[in-house]
């Protein structure tokens, strides 16, 4: 029996995945989480084989939670779930230690196959993202400047865009405020921006984040 933890801060999404998996033989959902911190707590208390990890959640987020668990619990295999259908999020999650990557637009059969493949020691990337990553691998230089960031730099950039203060980023990521400022400096230097507004505009321009009509 494959023990699965579903982590997503949107209750409707989380409940839908749990309901879908409850009908699949050989798969058991043993827990639910709505933040990276909660994922870590549950993993200390329950026997978990696979985590379906939302990329963007409150707190430390799915990327940082993946990085930490890949070190502290390498026996647990993580499949990242993203609402963003682009290769950069997949690459950053895989670099952080994820075994698989799915978009929230993928169908049920692909998710079930991903769980089974990853449980059996095979990496899984959904077809659309795998194709994009393969095409970009032949490019002489990345067309998205965010590709130049390390996984931790990418996570800090996402938290800056989400309006986290340096002290909050330091707390969530378990690093010092001075280290956060060093990350910010390197991020701005690599991306050629000078402030948070420029960073956010660049992320929107390259499809790293999306904004709703209300946010506009």
Q: Which pTM value belongs to this model?
A: 0.78
* Domains defined for the chain, CATH in brackets: 2-136 (3.40.50.2300), 145-205 (1.10.10.10)
Q: What is the pLDDT of residues 142-154, one digit of tens each?
A: 578 888 888 889 9
What was the pLDDT predicted at 215?
Answer: 42
Per mean pLDDT, which range of 68-82, 100-114, 160-174 is the poorest?
160-174
SS3 state at 30: strand
Which three-class secondary structure state does DSSP give residue 164?
coil
Rounded to whole angstroms, the Cα distance separating 201 from 57 reads: 21
Question: Which two structure tokens, joined as six digits, stand for 187?
Answer: 């991020």
Contact criterion met (CB below 8 Å) for 82 and 121: no
């Amino acid at each position: 029996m494959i023990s699965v933890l579903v982590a997503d801060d949107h209750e409707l999404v989380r409940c839908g995945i749990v309901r879908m998996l409850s009908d699949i033989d050989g798969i058991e959902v043993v827990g639910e989480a709505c933040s990276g911190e909660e994922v870590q707590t549950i993993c200390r208390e329950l026997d978990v084989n696979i985590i379906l990890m939302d990329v963007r959640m409150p707190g430390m987020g799915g990327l940082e939670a993946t990085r930490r668990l890949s070190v502290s619990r390498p026996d647990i295999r993580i499949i990242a779930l993203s609402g963003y259908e682009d290769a950069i999020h997949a690459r950053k999650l895989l670099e952080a230690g994820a075994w698989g990557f799915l978009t929230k637009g993928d169908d049920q059969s692909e998710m079930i196959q991903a769980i089974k493949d990853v449980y059996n020691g095979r990496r899984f990337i959904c077809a659309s993202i795998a194709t994009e990553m393969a095409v970009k691998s032949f490019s002489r230089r990345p067309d998205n400047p965010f590709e130049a960031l390390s996984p931790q730099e990418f996570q800090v950039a996402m938290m800056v865009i989400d309006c986290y203060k340096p002290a909050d980023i330091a707390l969530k990521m378990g690093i010092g405020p001075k280290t956060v400022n060093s990350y910010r400096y390197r991020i701005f230097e690599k991306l050629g921006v000078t402030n948070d507004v420029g960073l956010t505009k660049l992320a929107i321009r390259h499809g790293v984040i999306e904004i709703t009509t209300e946010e506009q």
